[in-house]
Amino acid sequence: MRIMSIVGARPEFVQAAPVSRALRRNHVEVLVHTGQHYDHAMSQAFFDDLGIAAPDYNLGVGSGPHGQQTAAMLVGIERLLIQEAPEMVLVRGDTNSTLAGALAAAKQGVPLAHIEAGERCHDRRMPEEINRLVADALAGLHLCASQTGMRNLACEGLSGAAHWVGDVMLDALLHYLPLARSRPSVLGRLGLEQGRYALVTVHRAGNVDDPARLGAIVDALNRAPETVLFPVHPRTRVALDRAALRFADHVRAVEPVAYLDMLTLEEGARLIATDSGGVQREAYYLKVPCLTLRDETEWEETVAAGWNTLVGVDPERILEAWAGCSPPTHHPDIYGDGTASERIVRILEGGVQTPDALERPTLAGEQGACGLEIEVAR
């Protein structure tokens, strides 16, 4: 089988690594990097850490307005589809690269599979939500990380080709965490002590492009009662400078870190505050309490499990949750068992019609888009 795999941003590189390993045992993967994340810290450093083969193609699109960026990707991917003639296109997540890959595949009549299908925050003001909805509407195969994703697709009439496989980011974390632990610790390099700092990431357009929201987050961090490590995304750095926002001495704004160092920083943190969907899940897997700097999340199970708290950007609300953060003792395996990649490949091969050998854990009191109550699995 010949599969074209589209990536463009940090979470997609992480998701691609275990899937590529599983795919390339018996199949040909044509890896296309759109160049959505293009600087070394956000792109090449991840390929280096993850040991992903160099992309077969890099479109070098770079940053820009959504329409301009997506259009450039669409042109490049369409050209490669004609040139490479894959039997299937594989996209993941919710980025503009996801959207462009889905549109190009649909226009060329190439079957499309979507990893992390069905995730919804139910806020169409978010570009990521639009990207998810379009990708799922066009995909012929939906590969879901969560039971909520399965339920959302059912509510949208898209359950016919939906499979719950678990989260490939868990596959990646389980594979790479021992390697991260074996390296000289980034904590020593940064002068940090295990469990004696908070880790913060902010990059979503809704927070970064709104000076009031970004200013509120900075205000909360400046009033936080402990050392804060803040690896600053390039677009966030530009927004901070544009708004002339400054940090207190205990907030350490550093350049973005590579994947293995990020795992170490996440595992060593007392607390994580983020607007990233991937970091929310990594925090959950590492059993580190998380504050989500948004008013909603796609990863509802982490909130229902008590390990993730939605705090928005109100400084008082953030600081109250920061001070009172106390995760529960239970920690259900809500996103699978770390073998999602193997399941995905078997489904792509057509040998598995439904996921096998996984319990389907869900959380009490959680409700999907259709208002269906879910029982707890402890």
- Of 79, 42, 29, the closest CA to residue 59 belongs to 79
270, two tokens: 């007392």
195 in the Ramachandran plot: left (φ > 0), alpha (ψ -120 to 50) or beta? left
CB 116 within 8 A of CB 98: no
| Other residues' Cβ atoms within 10 Å of the Cβ of residue 66 | 13
Is residue 40 part of the annotated active site? The answer reads no
Contact 115, 143 (CB under 8 A): yes
Cite the beta strand spans of 211-267 per DSSP E. 228-231, 251-254
Question: By three-state DSSP, how is residue 252 classified?
Answer: strand
Among 67, 4, 11, 12, smallest CA distance to 31 is for 4
What is the C-alpha radius of gyration for the chain, rounded to an integer number of angstroms? 20
User: From CA 219, how far away is CA 224, in angstroms rounded?
Assistant: 9
**Residues 305 and 331: beta-carbon distance below 8 Å:** yes
The amino acid that residue 30 corresponds to is V
Which regions of the chain does DSSP assign to beta strands (E)? 2-7, 28-33, 57-58, 88-92, 112-115, 141-144, 162-164, 198-201, 228-231, 251-254, 271-274, 290-292, 308-310
* Sign of torsion over alpha carbons 240, 242, 248, 253: positive
Cβ within 8 Å of residue 131, ≥6 positions away: 94, 95, 96, 98, 99
Which of the following is catalytic: 203, 233, 330, 331?
Answer: 203
C-alpha 358: how far from chain center: 22
Instruction: Show which residues are catalytic.
Output: 203
